[in-house]
């Protein structure tokens, strides 16, 4: 399972993909790409019916774009990874 998070643009988004590359869920928000990424990640995982422990890999957009948004996406992904282990 892959969790992808994009927070560097004006539209924040997250998606969960299965091992075959099929998108299981995606959530977008018009909130600028700054601040807490947890609600977006939490909503996407819930929509997919997947717990953080089932995520095998993370993909995070690294710009160009909002430094704060990129940082929030990276920190959220790192926290998800550490809590899953």
| Predicted confidence pLDDT, tens digits, the chain (85 residues) | 999 988 777 788 899 999 999 999 999 887 655 556 778 888 999 999 999 889 999 888 776 766 666 666 666 666 655 554 4
Global pTM value: 0.72
Separation CA 26–CA 7 (nearest Å): 14
pLDDT at 29: 83
- DSSP state string for 3-24: EEEE-SSSSEEEEEE-TTS-EE
Domains, the chain, in order of start with CATH, read 2-84 (3.30.420.40)
pLDDT at 85: 45
pLDDT at 16: 96
């Amino acid at each position: 399972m892959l969790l992808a998070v994009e927070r560097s643009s004006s539209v924040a988004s997250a998606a969960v993909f299965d091992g075959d590359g099929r998108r299981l869920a995606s959530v977008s928000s018009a909130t600028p790409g700054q601040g807490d990424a947890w609600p977006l990640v939490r909503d996407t995982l819930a929509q997919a019916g997947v717990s953080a422990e089932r995520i095998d890999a993370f993909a995070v957009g690294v710009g160009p774009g909002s430094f704060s948004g990129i940082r929030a996406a990276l920190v959220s992904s790192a926290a998800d990874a550490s809590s899953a282990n």
